Structure 1
Amino acid sequence: MAYNYPPEKLSVYLSDDGGSILTFYAMWEASQFAKHWIPFCKRYKLEPRAPAAYFSSSDNSSDMSHHEERLSMKILYEEMTSRVDAIVESGKVPEELKANHKGFSQWKSEMTSKKHPPIVQILIDGKDPNALDNVGNALPTFVYMAREKNPEYHHNFKAGAMNSLLRVSSVISNSPIILNVDCDMYSKNSDSIRDALCFFLDEEKGCDIAFVQYPQNYNNITKNDTYGNTLSIMNEVDLCGFDSWGGPPYIGTGCFHRRESLCGMKYTKDYKEDWNRGSERNPPDDIRKLEEKAESLATCTYELNTLWGHEVGLKYGVAVEDVMTGLMIQCRGWKSVYYNPPQKGFLGVGPTTLAQTILQHKRWGEGNLQIFLSKYCTFIYGHGKIKLGLQIAYCINNLWAANSVPTLYYVIVPSLSLLRGISLFPKMTSPWFIPFSYVMVGKQTYSLIEALLTREITVQGWWNIQRMWLIKRLTSYLYGTLAALSKILGVSKMGFTISAKISGEDASKRYEQEIMEFDASSLTLAVIEFVALLNLACLVCATSRAVMRGWAIVLEMYFLQILLCGLVVAINVAIYEGLLLRKDKGSIPWSVTLTTLGFVMLVSLVSRV
């Protein structure tokens, strides 16, 4: 709400899929605090303008009056958060507080998060001349929405919520440009709207732009990125490359959309945007009628037998609805733009444990592979609609999960072959040894240089990324591949598991200390442990063989296999620490270790027979 943008042209919507009265109460409190916060931000041109982010950062301003006002504002903010926390802890909004806004009457005792009617409440109406901040300036429109939920109807997860927001906003503000931001992100740059509009309003090249995508950045990544969650290489290298072929994919958050392109319109050369659309609306006296009309668009039955979720709005039926929706938009003739300014546009919260990381990447890998194996594969659906370079670029992400199969082969078969004395790669004296060595060394060297050039990744951080590269392909992407295949074969239905980003106090401390949290399922830990222990056993066996037969003979035959096996062992040092050295709650349970160790011994014995 505090964006550097005319408030009469700005509308802010919050979609609460749980339909919680506690969330609505927090929004009501925020709407009151905004009357003080927005003029404070604009008077001193503060950055960032998210209160929690601003008060947690240092303020180096030399203006003493600013510091005094900052202290007063911080007290107001802390009082507000204390009231909200107290109400949330009690689980109930007192009756005397409910009298402060008519919207509280929408909640009934029988309502639950999985079954409730549609609720649309305009907490601040930007068209009302009486909607002013504490210095007399206009406020942006501020709207709460909870679409109807009913177990008898499939709600289509995030895509369904976004499509309901599209319809509700069309009758309240109907602005031509829409920004969507996930609930765990905040705006870091108050000029992001103006920056994005520069692309849409360009007289020569702006008419065919459907969306402007900002990169997804996290503000809680540790110095050496323990779980390899930094997206720096994707943000600094991969997505930039999309621009020359027609634009980046839609990645679900931090994206400015042209409403008409998101609603299914095809691009034509004579297209012209109506920038005055949405500037006029019902007078303030008709607010309740407007809310009722908006609620009718957020019911479970509204989309039945319509094109919503198929040709209109976000696409249903795939775990990465954002990527699929962006592809469909580009196949209708539109282009997109990737914008990565020095001042980050948006910051969010990244996973802070191994389990959170694996869950998030499983969903991404599964959804992207679903696209590749369906009729929406870019080589089929995009043929003749988008450039070949863009089709190939999409496949880099679409085949994330499929990389698990060759990875699984390379960390098991060469090691077992080494155990049995079978050479899989050329000898050191063979001319073919050179290209194999070049690929192995060149790939890692290029990866390291690429990471360091982003200036956000340290050498240790790059090494952690290599470890997580292996772990994710053995777990997240392997599970994602199996899940995608089972859904395509009709064995199971699509689900959507939300990636939790909240950890306990002990886990948070270990994250800050860059100690891995082995909080994943027993099966997941067993897979990771099996690969680590198997390669360690095979490396020990190869070393003993070299001692008995001579290093020269063994290296001549098995150098590349020993190098590969040794690399896997080196990458998994943190796993061995979790097995043997650590005593904290985040270490690997002994029950998993003993089971896995027994299985490794069995496989080793069988392979020697």
Structure 2
Amino acid sequence: MMAINTVLSVMAYNYPTEKLSVYVSDDGGSDLTFYALLEASQFGKHWIPFSKKFNIEPRSPSAYFSTKSDPLVDNKVLSSIKKLYEEMEHRIETASKLGRIPEDIRIKYKGFSEWDSVSSPRDHQTILQVLIDRRNPSAVDIDGVPLPTLVYLAREKRPSHPHNFKAGAMNALIRVSSKISNGTIILNVDCDMSSNNSESVRDALCFFMDEKQGHEIAFVQYPQCFNNLTQNDIYGGALTVIQEMEFPGLDGFGGPLYIGTGCFHRRETLCGRKYSEEYKFEFVKSIDNRVQESITELDVQTKILADCTSEKGTEWGKEMGLKYGCPVEDVITGLAIQCRGWKSVYFNPTRTGFFGIAPITLAQTLVQHKRWSEGDFQIILSKYGPLSQGVGRIKLGLQMGYCSYCLWAPNCLATLYYSVIPPLFLLKGVSLFPRISSPWFLPFAYVVITEITYSLIEFLLSGGTFQSWWNEQRMWMYKRTTSYFFAFTDTCFKLLGYSDSAFEITAKVADQDVSQRYEKDIFEFGNSSPMFTILATLALLNLFSLVGGLNRIIKSRDINDLQSMFLQILLTGIVVILNLPLYWGLFFRKDNGRMPTSVTVKSSVLSLTACFLILY
């Protein structure tokens, strides 16, 4: 239903339907997804005219029906359309629970016969179905207006051929769409990023068609916003400073990164075209050149473009389409486009363009950032990095902007050092910093105060709250000591030839108990994980060290000892305060979201062992 709502939201854009085509890439190759899309194509005949007639926002049915009643919409009409949606939702959810398509539907639509020869989601032929073809006279809504083209694609997958994850799926869509509709502009959205602004297409085109600078623009990137964030954003999912400060800043140096969703691209730039001044005269010549074939002929010819062997001997995944071999295929592709001379635009309108679903558990958040940081780190080490390919091709400010994300992973080393060494040496009574009375204390005090003050002011100016800022500080520490650490080590092993990169999908669906705890800003641990073991061990290590260190200082009654240990006490104390939700999950919570007992035992043993080793 999440994917279906996204599809319906973009089909209902305020844009001429004869110029709008929607493609759905189902990399799971599920007949249930196809069935859901088939249901959506029928409901769209009612939803699209309803949306445009009453000019409603947002145009995701689920999001719209969850808002307050709209006084501009006739109640009788609203009740009727809502009933149709609920009936569709019920049919889809029933089929999902039963794990099969209703027999009458399977018989009626020949497209389901494709699944008769499917071995598994990772071993099947190309499945391509044009569900709505605007050239068909019957492809109209209830008002007789033509519907947008709607295409379902499950590209061929075979165990003997690498499928290159999301980048491979995107490239298959680019090739298939070039045969069916060949639109000049391509919008890329994830299945959970529904449109929240029906004018987004027109807004993006204003940049591409600008008379002065439009010919320089390769893509228009909207911010990745989420509509399920809690008031205090306990997992730091909003990425407030990045969205409100850093990306607008990059706009002045040639444009922001391509972040993989909510992005409008020129088709030609995605396919490897280099920038030239003459391009501004060529834009108006771009037309739909597709041959007016029958649906059957079109399906046969287009399916070949999504086969496993279609890229053999070509530049797809290298100089054409999204690049392969990197967990963040979007970022490295955007960088390559900018290195070919193009610019990008960051557009954050008053009405948010797209809304998605942020991870609602700690494990999901850490896995997501592990993939991001690992991919970004691989970029800076590759020949396509901002400090290699980017030199002389993009501005220094944009190079630095890329580096701030590409160096997330190695940042784990400094954070781990400050999370382990100062507390252990506090426990042992060894000072690592100048005492308060020393002039050398001032530089340390300056750095601490300035960094905290600047970070807080920047966050508040970005629209955040103090509590959200504090939660984000906790999450940065958690990510640096786990996500970034695993990203750093995995990349090192990959360079040494001991492992390969994997595309780890971030789950976006959770049960009701998890959702309820998330809405109450309660941390979700639940399952055992090596990342949780690290977090718990560091938290307990700092707690034991702080208690032991303060106990020793109080017993000694030596003011000089307190002065020399002040910064270590401050640092360890801040870490302990940041970890309060973790201590609660380790020892006091009784619900299913508490820290697993196995993690509690392992982390306690590890932290106590470290304390005994430093003392004895």
- Give me the TM-score of the superposition, normalised by structure 2: 0.96
Instruction: Tell me the secondary structure at the aligned position of residue 297 of structure 1.
Output: helix
- How far apart, in 1, do the equivalents of 2:283 and 2:382 lie? 36
Distance 1:411 1:439, change over 3 A: same
The structure 2 residue matched to 1:373, chosen from 375, 381, 386, is 381
The structure 2 residue matched to 1:58, chosen from 68, 78, 97, is 68
- How far apart, in 1, do the equivalents of 2:501 and 2:284 lie? 39
User: Does 1:555 find its partner at 2:567?
Assistant: no
Partner of 2:40: 30
- How far apart, in 1, do the equivalents of 2:603 and 2:119 lie? 47
Q: Which moved more, 1:288-297 or 1:82-91?
A: 82-91
**CA-CA distance at 1:551 after TM superposition:** 6.0
Q: Which moved more, 1:272-281 or 1:415-424?
A: 272-281
C-alpha contact 1:365 1:480 (8 A) present in aligned 2: yes
Q: Which moved more, 1:458-467 or 1:300-309?
A: 458-467
Matches within 5 A, 1:495-534: 495-534=502-541
Partner of 1:128: 136
CA offsets 1:374-430 (integer angstroms, 9 cap, x no match) = 222211111111111111110000011111110000111111111121111111111
- How far apart, in 1, do the equivalents of 2:515 and 2:93 lie? 21
Partner of 2:192: 184
The structure 1 residue matched to 2:28, chosen from 18, 25, 28, is 18
C-alpha contact 1:579 1:587 (8 A) present in aligned 2: yes
Instruction: Tell me the secondary structure at the aligned position of residue 404 of structure 1.
Output: helix
Partner of 1:168: 176
Q: Which amino acid aligns with 1:41?
A: S
Partner of 2:5: none
- How far apart, in 1, do the equivalents of 2:392 and 2:602 lie? 53
C-alpha contact 1:354 1:520 (8 A) present in aligned 2: no
The structure 2 residue matched to 1:393, chosen from 401, 425, 436, is 401
User: Does 1:264 find its partner at 2:281?
Assistant: no
The structure 1 residue matched to 2:434, chosen from 426, 440, 459, is 426
C-alpha contact 1:173 1:278 (8 A) present in aligned 2: no
Instruction: Tell me the secondary structure at the aligned position of residue 427 of structure 1.
Output: coil
Partner of 1:194: 202
Matches within 5 A, 1:155-554: 155-272=163-280, 273-275=282-284, 277-283=286-292, 286-455=294-463, 457-550=464-557, 552-554=559-561
Distance 1:100 1:309, change over 3 A: same
Q: Which amino acid aligns with 1:80?
A: M
Q: Which amino acid aligns with 2:56?
A: L
**CA-CA distance at 1:520 after TM superposition:** 4.7
Partner of 2:601: 594
- How far apart, in 2, do the equivalents of 1:44 and 1:276 lie? 35
- How far apart, in 2, do the equivalents of 1:512 and 1:90 lie? 30
- How far apart, in 1, do the equivalents of 2:435 and 2:304 lie? 72
**CA-CA distance at 1:121 after TM superposition:** 1.1
Q: Which moved more, 1:130-139 or 1:405-414?
A: 130-139
Q: Show structure 1 runs of 5+ residues with no match.
A: none
- How far apart, in 2, do the equivalents of 1:143 and 1:390 lie? 37
Distance 1:361 1:262, change over 3 A: same
Partner of 2:8: none
- How far apart, in 2, do the equivalents of 1:520 and 1:79 lie? 36
- How far apart, in 2, do the equivalents of 1:144 and 1:275 lie? 29
C-alpha contact 2:209 2:215 (8 A) present in aligned 1: yes
- How far apart, in 2, do the equivalents of 1:302 and 1:447 lie? 49
C-alpha contact 2:528 2:596 (8 A) present in aligned 1: no
**CA-CA distance at 1:502 after TM superposition:** 1.2
Q: Which amino acid aligns with 1:15?
A: S
- How far apart, in 1, do the equivalents of 2:544 and 2:104 lie? 68
Q: Which amino acid aligns with 2:499?
A: S
Moved over 4 A (4+): none
C-alpha contact 1:369 1:401 (8 A) present in aligned 2: yes
**CA-CA distance at 1:276 after TM superposition:** 5.3
Instruction: Tell me the secondary structure at the aligned position of residue 207 of structure 1.
Output: helix
% identical equivalent positions: 54
The structure 2 residue matched to 1:148, chosen from 138, 156, 169, is 156
C-alpha contact 1:401 1:477 (8 A) present in aligned 2: yes
Matches within 5 A, 1:107-126: 107-126=115-134
**CA-CA distance at 1:281 after TM superposition:** 3.6
Q: Which amino acid aligns with 1:469?
A: W
Q: Which amino acid aligns with 2:521?
A: E
Q: Show structure 2 runs of 5+ residues with no match.
A: 1-10
Q: Which amino acid aligns with 2:428?
A: R
Aligned pair count reads 605
Q: Which amino acid aligns with 1:177?
A: I
C-alpha contact 2:527 2:595 (8 A) present in aligned 1: no
Instruction: Tell me the secondary structure at the aligned position of residue 608 of structure 2.
Output: helix
**CA-CA distance at 1:47 after TM superposition:** 0.2
Q: Which moved more, 1:484-493 or 1:171-180?
A: 484-493
C-alpha contact 1:546 1:553 (8 A) present in aligned 2: no
**CA-CA distance at 1:447 after TM superposition:** 1.2
- How far apart, in 2, do the equivalents of 1:476 and 1:210 lie? 32
Partner of 1:569: 576
Q: Which amino acid aligns with 1:306?
A: T
CA offsets 1:436-458 (integer angstroms, 9 cap, x no match) = 11111211121112112222x22
